Amino acid sequence: MRLALVNTNRMRPPIAPIGLDYVAEVLSAAGHVVALLDLCWEEDPGAAIARFFGGADLGLVGVTLRNTDDCGYTSRQSFLPELAGTVHTIRRCTGALVVLGGVGFSTMPEEALALSGADAGVWGEGEFVLAELANRIERGQEWRDLPSLVWRDSAGWRRNAPGAWPLEGLPPMSRSWVDNPRYFRQGGQAGFETKRGCPGECVYCADLVAKGNWTRVRPPAVVAEELLRLLEQGIDHLHTCDGEFNLPAWHALEVCRELVRRGLGEKLRWYAYCAPAPFSPELARAMRAAGCVGINFGVDNGDEGMLRRLGRGFAPEDILNATRWSREAGLAVMLDLLLGAPGESRDSLVRTVELMRQAKPDRVGVSVGVRVYPGTKLARRVASAERPEGLSGGGDASAPLFFLEPAVAPFAFQLLDGLIGDDPRFLFFDPARPERNYNYNANQRLVEAIQAGYRGAYWDILRRLDSPA
């Protein structure tokens, strides 16, 4: 069957839609003819859609939504209205079935479908379901029973039970469906995935509701082959696209050993998201040997009680150790904070900034105000009758919902400013401070740095801009 895939993410700096790269590969391997429309590169998306779909005879259109919004308490840009506009324009140009997918979509499938008017969606990973959907449509068979499908009948929304597919079943990824070299030139990096799903229990986490809490790992040799395909395209700076690279740690070690065995450690420079535990000096050294140059630890908070309330499985001591071991191994370290969750207090904020200073990372990302996703423990908690205050936004699907602990809301920003002062290691998730902003949505400072030749993780590019070697 002939089908089309559409990328709707137009954020700058641009991040390649690796999900569509993978989905396209699998559809093609299943014998379908795939055309990809990447709206990231189009000045006039409406005209591009009309051009692309004009006269095309298609059986299916897949549309990806990576980000529902930019998740910034101070910026709050939603991409759902734009998605709705794109789906309406596609509908005017083709009668083919329109199916949504993507991690953003999977955080709130019913809302995204209702708002956009698409026919159905696929929750979680898309490769297997979309290929089977195309097969069934081609054969004129019923498809509404497919696993992971979200659809509507007269009784309302239906979410079919998720499927479980071992990733060994994926074909080798050529990474050729998306213009990865162009993304590299303008976005400074490419992504690669070594595993899916995260076993963590963080109360606020979107990954959990969008991908599930069961981990699926990819064979290390397959990961290495994929990195070679990117290297062949001149792409040597990468970022992991796993929830956390070191969960499970044994798999992270195996991937690193495979990259070393293939001599990729000297050819690549990559960055990873990691949890502060389980971590070890051995893993830090293995990652460095495999070409990793920086780790972003999502630590959230430096206060023991807050870490427990957030459902994090580590203690402040683990943050200190992970940072020290990484730096000793020659890795740059970013510690990412998520402040203002239920229970935050003046003391916990002070303790957190103190712990960050004690840890001595290269950069600290300060994000205040927590995005509340439907289906998370946090959503259940803040929506309960005892705790309605602290919420903002959420009036309709395109106004992202946030929580900021009312006990610190009146002074949190000012207190943090005072505690941090002009320490250049601290970045803020705040477009109103362009020189220290690590919200990557419409980040002009990064766009210009990448244009000037900087490559790598964005926090590390910001670090290098501030302290040129």
How many whole angstroms separate alpha carbon 123 and alpha carbon 256? 30
CA distance linking residue 192 with residue 194, whole number of Å: 7
Residue 241 contacts ligand B12 per CB under 6 A: yes
Q: Which is nearer to ligand B12, 108 or 322 (CB)?
A: 108
Sole binder of ligand B12 in the list 243, 294, 361, 365 (CB under 6 A): 243
Task: Please report whether residue 439 would count as binding ligand B12 according to CB under 6 A.
Answer: yes
Contacting ligand B12 (CB under 6 A), which of 4, 8, 19, 175?
19
Task: In whole angstroms, give the CA distance from residue 161 to residue 424.
Answer: 48
Q: Which residues are CB-neighbours of 223 under 8 A, at least 6 positions away?
A: 192, 193, 194, 255, 258, 259
Q: Binding of ligand B12 at residue 123 (CB under 6 A)?
A: no
Cβ-Cβ contacts under 8 Å for 57 (sequence gap 6 or more): 2
Cα–Cα distance, 357 to 416 (Å, whole number): 13
Q: Is 99 in the site for ligand B12 (CB under 6 A)?
A: yes
264 touching ligand B12, by CB under 6 A: no
Does position 440 interact with ligand B12 (CB under 6 A)? The reply is yes
Structure tokens, 459: 């926090």
Segment contacting ligand B12 by CB under 6 A, of 119-127, 257-265, 325-333, 358-366: 119-127
Q: Is 207 in the site for ligand B12 (CB under 6 A)?
A: yes
How far apart are the C-alpha atoms of 78 and 99, rounded to whole Å? Answer: 20
CB of 148 to ligand B12, least distance (A): 9
62 contributes a contact to ligand B12 by CB under 6 A: yes
Nearer to ligand B12 (CB atom), residue 321 or residue 393? 393
Q: Does position 64 bind ligand B12 by CB under 6 A?
A: yes
Tell whether residue 175 is a contact of ligand B12 (CB under 6 A). Answer: no
How many other CB atoms are there within 10 angstroms of residue 165's CB atom?
Answer: 17
Q: Which residue is nearest to ligand B12 (CB)?
A: 101
Residue at token pair 């969606």: 121
CB of 48 to ligand B12, least distance (A): 18
Nearer to ligand B12, 64 or 398 (CB): 64
Q: What is 193-206 written as a DSSP string?
A: -SEE------TT-H
Angle 220-232/249-261 helices, nearest 10 degrees? Answer: 50
Using the minimum distance from each CB to ligand B12, give the nearer residue, 314 or 402: 402
- Helix (DSSP H) and strand (DSSP E) numbers for the chain: 18, 19
Q: Which of 4, 27, 58, 71 binds ligand B12 (CB under 6 A)?
A: 71
Contact between 127 and ligand B12 by CB under 6 A: the answer reads yes
Our finding on whether 460 is near ligand B12 (CB under 6 A) is no
The reply on whether position 342 binds ligand B12 by CB under 6 A is: no
Contact stretch for ligand B12 (CB under 6 A) within 109-117, 184-192, 255-263, 303-311: 184-192
10 Å CB burial of residue 406 (0-12, 13-18, 19+) is middle
- Establish if 191 lies at the interface with ligand B12 (CB under 6 A): yes
Q: What residues contact residue 118 under an 8 Å CB cut-off, 6+ apart? A: 63, 87, 98, 99, 100, 112
Answer for the pair 292, 272: CB distance below 8 angstroms, yes or no: yes
CB closer to ligand B12 out of 206 and 351: 206
Binding residue for ligand B12, selected from 25, 38, 70, 82, defined by CB under 6 A: 70
Query: According to the binding rule CB under 6 A, does residue 206 interact with ligand B12?
Result: yes
Contacts of 247 (CB under 8 A, 6+ apart): 195, 198, 199, 200, 215, 275, 278
Chain centroid to Cα 117, Å, comes to 24
Contacting range for ligand B12; rule: CB under 6 A; set: 188-196, 317-325, 353-361, 446-454:
188-196
Residue 34 contacts residue 3 (beta carbons within 8 Å): yes
> Which residue in 8, 67, 86, 301 binds ligand B12 (CB under 6 A)?
67
Residue 126 within binding range of ligand B12, rule CB under 6 A: yes
**Cβ atoms of residues 411 and 344 within 8 Å:** no
Does 332 bind ligand B12 (CB under 6 A)? Our answer is no
Shortest distance, CB of residue 346 to ligand B12, whole angstroms? 27
- 109 makes contact with ligand B12 (CB under 6 A): no
Question: Binding of ligand B12 at residue 193 (CB under 6 A)?
Answer: yes
Minimum distance from residue 222 beta carbon to ligand B12 (Å): 14
DSSP string, 401-463: -EE--TTTTTTHHHHHHHHHTT-TTEEES-TTSGGGB---TT-HHHHHHHHTT--S-HHHHHH
Answer yes or no whether residue 450 interacts with ligand B12 by CB under 6 A: no
Judge contact between 356 and 337, C-beta under 8 A: yes
Q: How many residues bind ligand B12 (CB under 6 A)?
A: 47
Among candidate residues 165, 297, 202, the one with its CA nearest the CA of residue 240: 297
Q: In angstroms, give the least distance from the CB of 2 to ligand B12.
A: 15
72 is an interface residue for ligand B12 by CB under 6 A:
yes
Interacting residues toward ligand B12 by CB under 6 A: 9, 11, 14-15, 18-20, 22-23, 62-64, 66-72, 99, 101-104, 106-107, 122, 125-127, 130, 189-191, 193, 205-207, 211, 239, 241, 243, 273, 439-441, 458
